[in-house]
Structure 1
Amino acid sequence: MSDLLQRALHSHVPYSRPSTPIAHEHQIGFVGLGAMGYMMARNLANDREVGSVPILVWNRSVSKSEALQKELGEGKIRIAQNVEQIARECDVIITNLANDAVVKEIYQKFSDALKSSQPTGKKTFVETSTIYPSLAGELDRLITSNPKLHLITCPVFGTPAVAEMGQLLIVMSGDYLAKKEIAHLFVPAVGRKVIDLGGNLEKAPTFKLIGNSMILGTLEVLAESLTLAEKSGIGSLPVLELVKDLLPAPAIVACADQIAHDKFDGSVGFAIDGGIKDAAHIRHLTAEHNSPMPVIDIAHQHLITARAIHAKQAAQGKENFKTLDWSGLVAGPRVAAGLDAFDSQKHANVVRPEKIDDDE
């Protein structure tokens, strides 16, 4: 590859490339093959040179690991028998998990495995989940008691569709050399750009929650505006076109499109449980720093409302989606306005009351 092309590919990596080649090829391990993790692991495996060692993967549901191996082949994907195997065999261990409790559980297993089998070489743990910042310190205490073990926090911004295209925005904090190594592993295979927030492991998770507060706050405003459009007789489609003109950011347009067309399938989007978890983390962060965010308080309530309505429908066998996407929070504004929670086709039947003349 020419030097010019090399520089172009890595222009969004804030670290120079290593001056000398690594002594051996990294054995990469990946834990957590959900909607995001599956795409990230697949892109990493596809980016490896022909003949490279396969990526070792583990997921609580082994069917996800088997699906990825079937898709890419045994030459690119190897399935671990357990989490401990990942910790013992891999040089780079990447985690992408659902919530803080699962993250802590997995890292405790990593720690226990490495205490019983002391590593002889360097290992870098890359935590890409959305977690509360203080958890980073707990993970650090579990992992880095051995000087050969390093942890970096590395949350990512983007939907599964963005992950599939390798266009995630990557945020990093932690040990400089570890970040440098992982940045060149992740770009351009997994993401398009790295933002370095220094050595404090809590900075990247904090940044991720701030970013998610912007996305969730915008989602709440879109939900309220599109509901008003339906209730006032304008309809959501003209407002969707307005969003495309006024707020053409892909994430915003995608959220508006989901609401306007009732695309609330959380299996292909961001499941509502994750949205509620993130909203709770953001509210905790705002309380900790005395920095109120009322829109997140409201969005949190609407997410819970949507989940409750969906759970009732599921209990009756009437749900349209097995897992609800967080854009389903529009159920809150819709129900408050007297509309159907998830079926905008029923909104066409809404009849605005006639204005009464005071003289009559």
Structure 2
Amino acid sequence: MFSTTRAPSSSEETYGFIGLGQMGYHMANNLYKNSGKNLVVYDINPKAVSRFIEYNKQQSSNDSLRIEVASSPREVAEKSSFIMTMLPESPHIKEAYLGEKGILSGISPGKICVDSSTIEPTVSLEVTKEVAKASAIGVDGPVSGGVMGAEAGTLTFMVGAPEKSIVERVEPALLSMGKNVVHCGDLGTGLIAKICNNLLLAVTMVGACEALHLGTKLGMDPKLLSSIMNISSGRSWTIDTANPIPGYLPNSPSSKGYEGGFAIKLILKDVGLAMSAAKDTKSSMMASALTEQIYRHVSNYEQYSNKDFSVLYKWLKENK
């Protein structure tokens, strides 16, 4: 059953999801499909909401479940016992939680919020402390697996929570969207794991693109070279799952015009978070610093900035 009105819902039977972008769209689809719960959704972009509703109208086989469209994060909080947020950057999270019509203006004691956004750990801690003041529970739960993992429901959730019992409470919902839930430690540690993971991802994609580009320039078939790397010591996620060679993997962004993946401007944001943390901790990051420069340079090209970050391979080919 679908609703775009304020039809009443029981919060005990309802989950909430805020942010229906590249990742959130697929995560919310899987949460609705696999959790067996009613769902309340909100996105600042009406087109994103319409896309979500239309897709689930076509897919739904259970008339006993309801999707409601909320007019604000506050309404999501009022109607849901479990609230997920997946938004691009820190200002969006602060507005969604702390704004005039934010989650905290509608939340009640005992409810739980999981933020899967990749943001500054300091901002996450600020928000979760405010959630705690409302006698509710807030944890950081960023994900790894990209858009393909979000769509397939194979994400890994890295959860920062003060007690294991909190992770156990949210685990059923998270496993409806992913296949792994890891308790990383106290609040903020999920984001630490995510930022470090994405830094490694960014560096390895640069290496993969440059190695494949070099092999091509030397006369090697890049698809054959990729297959060799996949059974050799150079194997990585950037080769076996997000390969930058068009046509090598049919479902990778590179085979779809570098669309629908992890935009260069977003990987640059995550590398920036890591470099900021490195500065604060006085950590030497020479390869990472160069990686940041590379992505920043490529993102200045309008035709590349919104493409998946594996488009670096195409940039290398086209910019001699």
**Once the 2 structures are TM-superposed, how far is the Cα of residue 111 of structure 1 from its aligned partner?**
7.9
* Alpha-carbon distance in 2 for matches of 1:46, 1:249: 31
* Alpha-carbon distance in 2 for matches of 1:38, 1:118: 23
Say which of 119, 128, 137 aligns to 2:116: 128
Say which of 122, 126, 149 aligns to 1:138: 126
2:48 is aligned to 64
1:41 aligns with 2:28: yes
Relative to the length of structure 2, the TM-score reads 0.84
Contact between 1:218 and 1:252, CA under 8 Å: does it hold in 2? no
Distance 1:24 1:167, change over 3 A: same
Contact between 1:276 and 1:303, CA under 8 Å: does it hold in 2? yes
1:324 aligns with 2:307: yes
Q: Which moved more, 1:285-294 or 1:250-259?
A: 250-259
* Alpha-carbon distance in 1 for matches of 2:49, 2:268: 27
* Alpha-carbon distance in 1 for matches of 2:16, 2:162: 19
Alpha-carbon RMSD across the aligned residues, in angstroms, is 2.6
Say which of 85, 88, 91 aligns to 1:95: 85
1:284 aligns with 2:276: yes
Distance 1:112 1:39, change over 3 A: closer
Q: What amino acid is the match of 1:219?
A: M
* Alpha-carbon distance in 1 for matches of 2:34, 2:100: 26
Distance 1:110 1:171, change over 3 A: farther
Q: What amino acid is the match of 1:228?
A: L
* Alpha-carbon distance in 1 for matches of 2:245, 2:139: 34
* Alpha-carbon distance in 1 for matches of 2:284, 2:270: 16
1:253 aligns with 2:245: no
* Alpha-carbon distance in 2 for matches of 1:296, 1:259: 26
Q: What amino acid is the match of 2:80?
A: C
* Alpha-carbon distance in 1 for matches of 2:73, 2:236: 38
**Once the 2 structures are TM-superposed, how far is the Cα of residue 250 of structure 1 from its aligned partner?**
4.5
Distance 1:266 1:65, change over 3 A: farther
2:6 is aligned to none
1:217 aligns with 2:203: yes
* Alpha-carbon distance in 2 for matches of 1:224, 1:96: 32
**Once the 2 structures are TM-superposed, how far is the Cα of residue 146 of structure 1 from its aligned partner?**
2.0
Relative to the length of structure 1, the TM-score reads 0.75
Corresponding residue SS for 1:28 = strand
Q: Deviation string for 1:105-131 (max 9, x for gaps)? A: 21212785644x572x41111010111
2:222 is aligned to 236
Q: Deviation string for 1:63-107 (max 9, x for gaps)? A: 221222222238442111122211222211100011122112212
Contact between 2:198 and 2:267, CA under 8 Å: does it hold in 1? no
* Alpha-carbon distance in 1 for matches of 2:235, 2:13: 40
Contact between 1:30 and 1:56, CA under 8 Å: does it hold in 2? yes
* Alpha-carbon distance in 1 for matches of 2:107, 2:174: 27
Q: Percent identity, aligned pairs only?
A: 21
Q: Which moved more, 1:151-160 or 1:255-264?
A: 255-264
* Alpha-carbon distance in 2 for matches of 1:258, 1:292: 32
* Alpha-carbon distance in 1 for matches of 2:285, 2:242: 20
Distance 1:64 1:103, change over 3 A: same
* Alpha-carbon distance in 2 for matches of 1:223, 1:77: 42
1:10 is aligned to none
Q: What amino acid is the match of 1:109?
A: G
1:340 aligns with 2:287: no
Indicate the structure (1 or 2) with the bigger Cα radius of gyration: 1
1:164 is aligned to 151
1:226 is aligned to 212
5+ long unaligned stretches in structure 2: 1-9, 58-62, 249-253
Contact between 1:99 and 1:129, CA under 8 Å: does it hold in 2? yes
Q: Give the length in aligned residue pairs.
A: 298
1:191 is aligned to 178
Q: What amino acid is the match of 2:127?
A: L
Say which of 95, 98, 113 aligns to 1:108: 98
Corresponding residue SS for 2:112 = strand
Contact between 2:265 and 2:305, CA under 8 Å: does it hold in 1? no
5+ long unaligned stretches in structure 1: 1-22, 312-318, 342-346, 348-360
Q: What amino acid is the match of 2:26?
A: M
**Once the 2 structures are TM-superposed, how far is the Cα of residue 329 of structure 1 from its aligned partner?**
3.0
1:304 aligns with 2:296: yes
* Alpha-carbon distance in 1 for matches of 2:274, 2:257: 24
Corresponding residue SS for 1:172 = strand
Contact between 1:26 and 1:92, CA under 8 Å: does it hold in 2? no
